[in-house]
Amino acid sequence: MNTPQLPAGQHLPVSESRQLAEFIAGLRYDDIPPDAIVAAKKLFIDWLGSALAGKDARAVAILESFATTMGPPSGPSEILVSRKTTSPFFAALVNAASSHMVEQDDVHNSSVFHPGTVIFPPVLAAAQAEGSSGSEMLVAAIAGYEAGIRVGEFLGRSHYQVFHTTGTAGTIAATAAVSRLYRLDPQRTLDALGSAGTQAAGLWEFLRDAADSKQLHTAKAAADGLLSAWIARQGFTGARRILEGPQGMAAGMSSDADPARLVDRLGSRWAIVETSYKWHASCRHTHPAADALDALMRRENLSQADIAEVTARVHQGAIDVLGPVVNPQTIHQAKFSMGTVLALIAVHGKAGLMEFERHALTDPQVAAFRGKVSMVLDAEVNAAYPRQWIGKVEVRTADGRSLSARVDVPKGDPGNSLTRAELEDKALFLAQFRDGASADEMRRAIARIWHLEDEVRPGVMFPGAT
C-alpha cells in the first residue's frame, strides 16, 4: 500500500480517536475545575452505596464465585460486598456487577449511559494495586467520564436500540480511566482504546427473558477496561481508529454516529457535571413519568382507587427498552416495567428499593394498577430526548375526568439534583440495604471521599478486608 503523499507543510488530520487519547493522557488535576472535582466525589459516594446494595444478589454471588475459583485467593484489591481481596481484574468485575444490581447508579442523559458503575470499579481496584493517590483516582475517574460520555453521544440513538451503551461505551470509559491512572502516554492510551473497542459488547435482548446479562455487561466493561489498559502498558497494540474507522465500533453498531461528538469541547465542557442521580430504584426511562404521576396525584389529591387509566407519553428509547417487559417475573425485571413503577408510585407513594422488594411482584393492588398503564410515543418528548428527558402523563379518573401533568427536569437531573444531605442519606440507605456496610462504616467512607485529594494512598475502603 502506498502512503499518501501530501504537499510540503501539510499533514493528515489527527483522528478523533487520537485526539481523545491525547486528552486522556494529558489530563492533570490542575486542569479540572472545582465543580468537576466535587462532582467526581459525589458520584463516587453515590456509586459506593450502589455497589454495597448489590450484596447477596444471586447474579453477583455467581460472579464472585467465578472470581474466587479463577482468581487468586487474595490480592491488593477489595471486593466490597464480601470484604475479600483479590486481583484488580476480579475486584473490578465483581464490584461493577454489584453496583448495577439495584438500579440506583448514576446516568448521563444525552449519552444514555451509566458511567459510575463501569468507571469507579476499575479505578478503585487499580489504585489499590498501584498505590495511587486520591487525586490520581479523581483525575482517572473524570477522564473516564469525559471519554465514555462522548463515546455514548457519538454512537447515537440508533446504537441504543440494540446495544446497551453501558456495556459498549462503558468499556471505553473504563479503559480511559485506568489508562490515565497508569499514566499511559497518548500512543499507548490509543492502543488501550483499540483493545477496548474490539471487546465492547452488550445487547438488550436479555430484558425479554429476565436474564442476568445487565450485570455481566458492567462486570465485563469494567474488567475489560482494566485488561485493555494493562496490556497496552506492556506494549500490546490496538486499532488506532477503533471508534470511527471503516470497520470500527460505529460501522458495526450505529447508523447515525457523529465523530465530532468524540471531541466535543474537550477541556472546556465537563460532561461529568451533567450526570444525573437516580431517585427511583428503577430503569431511568421510567423516572420522568413516575415524577409526573406523583406530581399529578399530589396536585389533584388522588388515590390509586381514583385512577382508571394512565398513559405515559414517552420517547422511543423508553418504548424500545421497557416495551418488551409486559409481565415481569423478577424484581429486577420489574424495574423495567413502566406499569409496575407507576403502580408503586400510585399505591405506595414511592418506587424505592423496599417498595420493589415488598410489593412489585406480590401486591395484588400493584398488579391491578399495572394493567391500567400504557405507553405512547410523544413527538415533543421524543424530539427532546436524549438531551432532555421530559415526563408526561395523562390520567382518566374513575369519575370520568381527564387530567395531565408534565415534568421537564426529573428529580436527580442537573437543575433538580440531590442535595448533599439527600445524596448522603441515599448512600447510607443503600449501604445498609443488605448489610453491605454499617452506618458508621459508611459515614467514615463518605468523609474520606469528600477529602479524597488529601489521601496519599487511599487503600481499602473498609479496613479489615481479607
Q: What is the pTM of this model?
A: 0.95
* Residue 228 in grid coordinates: 485493555
Taking every pair of Cα atoms in the chain, the longest distance, rounded to a whole number of angstroms, is 80
Q: Are residues 258 and 146 in the same domain?
A: yes
* Mean pLDDT calculated for residue range 167-181: 98
CATH code, 145? 1.10.4100.10
Per the structure, the count of domains in the chain is 2
Last residue of a domain, one of 274, 295, 312: 274
Q: Are residues 295 and 269 in the same domain?
A: no
- pLDDT higher than 90, residue 383: yes
Last residue of a domain, one of 392, 407, 422: 407
For residue 55, is it within any domain?
Answer: yes
The domain in which residue 195 lies consists of: 16-274
Q: Are residues 162 and 306 in the same domain?
A: no
pLDDT tens for each residue of 255-302: 999 999 999 999 999 999 999 999 999 999 999 999 999 999 999 999
Q: Are residues 228 and 311 in the same domain?
A: no
* Mean pLDDT calculated for residue range 178-200: 98
- pLDDT higher than 90, residue 209: yes
Q: Which amino acid is at 36?
A: A
- pLDDT higher than 80, residue 433: yes
Instruction: Give me the phi and psi of 184, to 5 degrees please.
Output: -70, 145
pLDDT tens for each residue of 300-343: 999 999 999 999 999 999 999 999 998 999 999 999 999 999 99
| Residue 430: how many other CB atoms lie within 10 Å | 27
| Residue 91: how many other CB atoms lie within 10 Å | 31
For residue 8, is it within any domain?
Answer: no
Higher pLDDT, 303 or 4: 303
What length is written for the chain? 466
CA distance 30 to 28: 5
CA distance 270 to 293: 32
Instruction: Give me the phi and psi of 406, to 5 degrees please.
Output: -140, 155
* Mean pLDDT calculated for residue range 25-52: 98
For residue 464, is it within any domain?
Answer: no
pLDDT tens for each residue of 157-168: 999 999 999 999
CA distance 285 to 287: 6
Q: Are residues 50 and 135 in the same domain?
A: yes
CA distance 59 to 63: 6
Give me the pLDDT at residue 212, please: 97
